[in-house]
Structure 1
Amino acid sequence: MATPTRCRGEYPYTRGIQPTMYRGRLWTMRQYAGQEDAESSNRRYRFLLDQGQTGLSVAFDLPTQIGYDSDASMAEGEVGKVGVAIDSIDDMRTLFDQIPLDRVTTSMTINSTANILLSLYAAVAEEQGVGRDKIGGTVQNDILKEYIARGTYIYPPKPSMRLITDSFEYCTREVPRWNTISISGYHMREAGCTAAQEIGFTLANAIAYVEAALEQGMAFDSFGPRLSFFFACHSNFLEEIGKFRAARRLWGSIARERFGSQNERAQMLRFHTQTGGVTLTAQQPDNNVVRTTLQALAAVLGGTQSLHTNSLDEALGLPSEHAVEIALRTQQVIGYESGVADVIDPLGGSYYIEQTTNELEAEARNYIDQIDALGGAVSAIEQGYQQAEILEAASSFQREVETETDSGRAGDKTAGKRGRVIVGVNRFETDEDSDVEIVRVDPTVRERQIEKLERLRDGRDASAVSAVLDAIQQAADTDENLVPLMMDAVKQSATLGEISDALRRVWGEYRERIVV
């Protein structure tokens, strides 16, 4: 039975977590960015801040995400391609050059190597004179969705969960303004899951993280206020608004009823939203501005705490500076011109929204119950449950798109009723080529990173680096919290790849379960 809707800022938070919502303060406008090396990405961040962005969001390249330095053979062809390459504290200093870390919050989309990146960030802040208790931001740090949908894991699930609980424990004590995890439904949605699956699988993963922390002796209400969430927003406008409301209500009840929370902040589902990358089309890319605007508005009406709006050219390559500016201006027009932020809950009382919320909550709860029956999120992942559900949902979506294409080609007047219309792709196509200029990554970026690594290794104290890496490797076989050791390692100029390799030698690497 659905929990009744109350006012904004009151349990179960269906209508929002703040009593006055955006009348008090707008959501954080946080554009996800990162490309090539630290110098290039720093220029983009400073441009965005000059244009009115109110928070940073860092995209890392694949080698950084899976624990390889830029000079590793596994990194060849991928350095700086989908985000910024970060190998050492030298790169991190450059990345945040002239950016005051006591006045800007930073979200870092990083998982397997999250604790290393947090250590690098804290070390650079310390060099700026900003203490760990003053920095604010988030590391994504959500490894379970990597096994389900995304693939940038390194270690098996058990030691990976240990890294996450280490960050919970350390940050609760030392970095109180830091969100220790951003539990993400976004990547599962991008892989093809439904709105209800996005809620259910995300909250089931959250339950697994909480239970792992409880097993380590932590109290839910001590770390619960620093849990955050991350959702996609796709183009079914009203369904997406209901999705956010249902997720808030369901998490509130889980926190209270399952974990006995007495702390209101631990019961609030605070979330970041990114408009749907997978909804963008290479055909007629100007249409993506419309898609992104609708999705951003749905996120705002759904009560998001921060928002990234995709750029119109992202189906073709990395976003250009011009496209990024349009994406940010989209948020600013919604926030400052549309009037929706002047009303605390514009859609409160809508029958359709309330009904959609109830239905999505019930469906998501059913997924959580099924995952519980399988032994929890980790066990369900090992059995391939979430992966198989997403595979079926993605296949169903694709069949709908292709049905529309086939019926349209046949001249069937019912086209669009049986299939799914994607404007410019399977209906309303044109033969015109796109005139969008595609951003290309500088092919010399890896060479520059390798040169920097050579200078770093020549100039550091090799014996001190060896000692701290040995300490990490030895501690990996114990219950000792690894974050302080990583903090020491990055200050000694140990590289991200070297720290990751120290853990690989103890834990090994995870091999994917293939779901067919």
Structure 2
Amino acid sequence: MYQKDFLEQVRTQLTVTEDPAKLRERTFATSSGIPLKNSYTPADLADFDPLKDLGAPGKYPFTRHVQPSGYRGRLWTMRQYAGFATAEESNARYRYLLEQGTTGLSVAFDLPTQIGMDPDHAMALGEVGKVGVSISSIHDMRRLFQDIPLDKVSTSMTINAPAAVLLALYLAVAEEQGVSWKQVSGTIQNDILKEYMARGTYIFPPRQSLRLITDIFAFCAEQVPNWNTISISGYHIREAGCTAAQEIAFTLGDGIAYVQAALDAGLKLEAFAPRLSFFFNAHNQFFEEVAKFRAARRLWARIMKERFKTTDAKSQMLRFHTQTAGSTLTAQQPDNNIVRTAVQAMAAVCGGTQSLHTNSRDEALALPTEVSARIALRTQQILAYESRVADVVDPFAGSYLIESLTDELEARASALLAKVDELGGMVSAIERGFPQREIQNAAYAYQKAVEQGEQVVVGVNRFTVTGETMPELLRVDESLGAQRRAEIAKVRAVRDQAAVDARLAALRAAATGTENLMPLIVAAVKAEATIGEICDTLRAEFGEYQEQLVF
């Protein structure tokens, strides 16, 4: 990009020498350990090629954006994550958010639902409706989306191990509304690999889980063409404590594993790859986060072109949703979280996200109240309509710092991916504990820095106050568990049990072979089989994954 003599002049004339004794910190570095200089110059981009590495918005390698006009044509989807207690209460929250201007729904499910258990399961005791909405049967799904037209609203569902069952329930309810499956749009998270390395809501062993995922790919390619069949999630990996570079590497490593599994199952790349989506965290270090999104987009385009040999632009695009960082929220001085969320949301927007959720100020203490959820949504709306940051595509392009960080993050993520390849791919790497150790080591280093005061957390280890008054919090009624147990008993008492048994028997028989399981799961939910019953049927055939502790 620059001539050698010019770069030498820059190095000679623009290099700043600092007195270490006068600096407020001994070293300056990003979360990924990338040293930060006093200032950046063209010398930091000596090998940078704007045509090869940057390109135009909407063009390979998509560093700048997946759309030529960025947000000038259409703003990102403002998709507030919500769900708690009963289907009726969550439905009321969704309709409230839609009235307040949210442009997409995002469903949070309670822990029993996430691990494929009905509310009357012994292990569900005390967890029903606590961290999301309790869903067990088609009756619950009907109430969850009552008066919400599924041909008009895009819905994201944060569900992984039982993703096939929740998708089947959603499609069955859409059908009852008279909505064609070809009209529904949305996303299921459906990313099981990150559960084994970071989150823990798995059911089946990895290879059986991948079979369910590729069944969904194939089914939706034919039946539900506007559905994003997976949201490959670095969010939870980052929440577990990894760095920005690790978030890129392990997320894209999971993506590579899903693409390869689908190809091995006989699917054509262009039939499913354009519907892959990703899910990233927006953390506190603003410049690194902007660079992270750009590096991930460029690296995925190169992976799809060079490793999987696709020239299809839609298959090369990394489209992603972003959520601000829950792990950065503090119970102390919770109003500070509004500022943290705003900074993180701006990084996501400047990095080119397609969809955004902003966390609420009280989420370190409880599920958000309506007031807190409204403030979080208003944060997005102020960014969109008042800040004007959405008016220019990739506003930091050409910045010596941002381009340098983008290059370095891509290089570090590529090195980690090479290690994953050496271990035989992401499934084998997880089985051998490699990403788990990397994440644990990064989390330990960060926590140690906080405890030693090297990493400042405002209101926690510096600028603290005493005698805080806690805000009003959302509380889930403790009687909900008993209510839901009674409801599920009523469903079982009045349904056609013979039809349920027949559908579940057919599902188990198919699970022993290679038949696509999605049509059988759809038939089971229509017969009023519950999530727990369907997952138990598959448990009986596939077995359950047992976590391997990694030290």
Range into which the TM-score falls when normalised by the shorter chain? over 0.9
Task: Report the equivalent of 1:35.
Answer: 84
Tell me whether 1:424 sits opposite 2:473 in the alignment. Answer: no
1:259-305 alpha-carbon deviations (Å, 9 max, x no partner): 01121111000000000000000111110000000000000000000
| Residue 195 (structure 1) aligned to one of 231, 238, 244 | 244
The one of 164, 179, 192 equivalent to 1:115 is: 164
The alpha-carbon deviation at position 198 of structure 1 amounts to 0.1
User: Residue 30 of structure 1: SS of its match in structure 2?
Assistant: strand
- For these two proteins, the number of residue pairs brought into alignment is 502
CA distance, structure 1, for counterparts of residue 486 and residue 73 of structure 2: 49
TM-score scaled by length of structure 2: 0.90
SS of match in other structure, 2:452 = helix
State the alpha-carbon separation in 2 of the partners of residues 183 and 80 from structure 1.
Answer: 25
1:514 maps to 2:549: yes
Q: What does 1:66-465 align with in structure 2 at a 5 Å threshold?
A: 66-404=115-453, 419-465=454-500
| SS of residue in 1 equivalent to 2:424 | coil
Give the whole-Å Cα distance in 1 for the aligned partners of 2:487 and 2:528: 12
Runs of 4+ in 1 over 3 A off after TM superposition: none
Secondary structure at 1:390's aligned position in 2?
A: helix
Are 1:10 and 2:45 an aligned pair?
Answer: no
TM-score normalised over the length of structure 1: 0.96
Shift of 1:437: 1.3
Task: Between 90-99 and 448-457, report the one with greater CA deviation.
Answer: 448-457
Alpha-carbon shift at residue 25 of structure 1 (Å)? 0.4
Q: 1:399 and 1:477 mapped to 2: Cα distance?
A: 48
Q: Match for 2:355: what amino acid?
A: S
Deviation at 1:451, TM superposition (A): 1.7
| Alpha-carbon distance in structure 2 between the residues aligned to 1:454 and 1:424 | 47
Q: Secondary structure at the match of 1:493?
A: coil
Range 138-147 or range 457-466, more displaced: 457-466
Paired AA for residue 100 in structure 2 = Q
Query: 2:34: which partner in 1?
Result: none
Q: Distance in 1 between matches of 2:311 and 2:498?
A: 49
Is 2:522 the partner of 1:473? no
The alignment-based identity, stated in percent, is 61
Whole-Å separation in 2 of the counterparts to 1:176 and 1:301:
29
TM-superposition CA deviations, 1:455-509 (whole Å, max 9, x none): 2112111101000000111111100110000000000000000000000111111
Shift of 1:252: 0.2
Secondary structure of residue in 2 paired with 1:23 = coil
Shift of residue 254 of structure 1? 0.4
Greater CA deviation, 241-250 or 395-404? 395-404
Summarize deviations over 1:403-455 as a string: whole Å, max 9, x none: 11xxxxxxxxxxxxxx1111111111111313311221111111221121122
Letter in 1 for 2:178: G
Structure 2, gaps ≥5 residues long? 1-46
Cα distance in 2 for residues equivalent to 1:236 and 1:205: 24
Other structure's SS at 1:282 match: coil
CA distance in 2 between counterparts of 1:223 and 1:106 reads 19
Residue 422 of structure 1 aligns with an amino acid whose one-letter code is V
SS of the counterpart of 1:370? helix
Q: Name the structure 1 match of 2:24.
A: none
Q: Which residue of the partner structure matches residue 487 of structure 1? A: 522
Distance 1:43 1:164 in 2: 31
2:537 to 482, 498, 502: 502
How much does 1:109 deviate? 0.2
Distance 2:469 2:184 in 1: 43
Matched to 1:122, the amino acid is: L
Residue of structure 1 equivalent to 2:22: none
Please, what is the CA RMSD of the aligned residues? 0.8
Contact 1:179 1:227 in 2 (8 A): yes
The answer to whether the 8 Å contact 1:283/1:434 transfers is: no
Partners of 2:384 and 2:249 in 1: how far apart? 30
Deviation of 1:345 after TM superposition, in Å, equals 2.2
Counterparts of 2:126 and 2:298, CA distance in 1: 44
Q: Secondary structure at the match of 2:371?
A: helix
Tell me if structure 2 keeps the 8 A contact 1:69–1:87: yes
Which residue does 2:38 correspond to in 1? none
Q: Where does the alignment leave 5 or more consecutive residues of structure 1 unmatched?
A: 405-418
> Are the aligned partners of 1:239 and 1:356 in contact in 2 as well (CA < 8 Å)?
yes
Letter in 2 for 1:94: R
Between the aligned partners of 2:394 and 2:304, the Cα distance in structure 1 is 24
| Cα shift at 1:394 | 0.2
